[in-house]
């Protein structure tokens, strides 16, 4: 029987994607295959993903016209991995490889292949990622729906033109690191003011989660929610004034611009 989907690279992202797809009943375990070059990692995947075929290479006999593939390897390994996928006759490929254009991947395949490029982010590991997808030159709306349904198993998916993927990389791709820096600094601030590290961490992490929940549950804008907690002349207003004096807003604008520019450089 041919596989419905082959995930090439069963590391952090590939493993999380496989788990998310089965949880979301996108496919059954027996319809899924993970191709992974590391022996140790294959052992770990066999325990984590019972019923899924964990292989060291793709067998062309287990591929038919409906089989799709997801490239989840590091950029240095992507062309090799794509070459072995192409040799099996797979005609639909979703790539999560950072900085590799659809044109570059299309050039690796021996025939026309529908290539969809995406930029997911780290919360995919918790099934709460944010991904953007863009189609290459041979892609139909059916191919984009297919890619969206795959990444939709591990979070939200938006569609953008491929040229916007560098901006997505600098925004949602890098954003977990920006937020962890903010969280780290706030925990430290609580400690500086006399709280124990444990208490400060618990307060900061719970407030972060609660604030995110309010954004999605109320549908209110961040400006509205911020105004709601900022009484005129009050404590929060005093704190926000210091952040504005330190140009925190401008720092985020510059950070996203710098990360997007770096993504453009790496993709050249």
Ligand X SMILES: NC(=O)c1ccc[n+]([C@@H]2O[C@H](COP(=O)([O-])OP(=O)(O)OC[C@H]3O[C@@H](n4cnc5c(N)ncnc54)[C@H](OP(=O)(O)O)[C@@H]3O)[C@@H](O)[C@H]2O)c1
- Residue numbers at the binding site for ligand X (CB under 6 A): 8-9, 11-14, 35-38, 41, 72-75, 77, 80-81, 96-98, 119-122, 173
Nearer to ligand X (CB atom), residue 8 or residue 22: 8
Strands 114-119 and 92-95 turn out to be parallel
> What's the min distance (Å) between Cβ of 13 and ligand X?
3
> What's the min distance (Å) between Cβ of 35 and ligand X?
5
Place of tokens 């006999």: 61
> What's the min distance (Å) between Cβ of 132 and ligand X?
10
- Tokens linked to 120: 């997911």
For residue 254, give the nearest of 178, 197, 202 by alpha carbon: 178
Nearer to ligand X (CB atom), residue 190 or residue 267: 267
> What's the min distance (Å) between Cβ of 81 and ligand X?
4
CA distance 139 to 137: 6
Nearer to ligand X (CB atom), residue 75 or residue 210: 75
Nearer to ligand X (CB atom), residue 40 or residue 223: 40
HSE-up of 152 (CA within 13 Å, CB side)?
10
CB 110 within 8 A of CB 83: no
- Tokens linked to 256: 């996203």
> What's the min distance (Å) between Cβ of 33 and ligand X?
11
Nearer to ligand X (CB atom), residue 22 or residue 124: 124
> What's the min distance (Å) between Cβ of 211 and ligand X?
23
Nearer to ligand X (CB atom), residue 7 or residue 200: 7
CB 252 within 8 A of CB 244: no
Long-range contacts, stretch 104-107, CB < 8 angstroms, 24+ apart: 104/79, 105/71, 105/78, 105/79, 105/136, 106/136, 106/137, 106/138
> What's the min distance (Å) between Cβ of 63 and ligand X?
15
CA distance 19 to 221: 33
CA distance 219 to 240: 23
Minimal CB distance to ligand X: which residue?
A: 11
> What's the min distance (Å) between Cβ of 72 and ligand X?
5
Nearer to ligand X (CB atom), residue 126 or residue 205: 126
For residue 94, give the nearest of 22, 13, 176 by alpha carbon: 13
All residues at 6 or more sequence positions from 215 whose CB lies less than 8 Å from its CB, including other chains: 222, 225
Nearer to ligand X (CB atom), residue 86 or residue 200: 86
């Amino acid at each position: 029987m041919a596989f419905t989907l082959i995930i090439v690279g069963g590391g952090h992202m590939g493993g999380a994607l496989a788990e998310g797809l089965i949880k979301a009943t996108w496919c059954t375990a027996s319809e899924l295959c993970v191709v992974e070059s590391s022996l140790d990692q294959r052992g770990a995947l066999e325990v984590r993903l019972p019923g899924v075929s964990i292989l060291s290479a793709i067998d062309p006999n287990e591929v038919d016209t409906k089989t799709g593939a997801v490239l989840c390897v590091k950029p240095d390994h992507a062309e090799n991995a794509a070459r072995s996928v192409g040799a099996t006759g797979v005609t639909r490929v979703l790539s999560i490889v950072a900085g590799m254009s659809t044109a570059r991947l299309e050039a690796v395949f021996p025939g026309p292949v529908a290539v969809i490029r995406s930029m997911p982010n780290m919360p995919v590991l918790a099934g709460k990622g944010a991904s953007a997808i863009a189609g290459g030159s041979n892609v139909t709306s059916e191919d984009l729906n297919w890619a969206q349904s795959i990444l939709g198993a591990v979070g939200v998916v938006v569609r953008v033109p491929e040229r916007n993927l560098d901006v997505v990389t600098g925004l949602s791709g890098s954003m977990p690191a920006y937020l962890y820096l903010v969280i780290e600094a706030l925990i430290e601030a609580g400690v500086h003011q006399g709280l124990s590290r444990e208490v400060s961490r618990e307060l900061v992490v719970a407030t972060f989660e609660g604030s995110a929940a309010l954004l999605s549950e109320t549908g209110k804008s961040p400006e509205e929610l911020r105004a709601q907690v900022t009484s005129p002349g009050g404590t929060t207003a005093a704190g926000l004034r210091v952040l504005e004096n330190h140009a925190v807003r401008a720092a985020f604008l510059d950070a996203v611009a710098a990360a997007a520019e770096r993504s453009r450089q790496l993709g050249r």
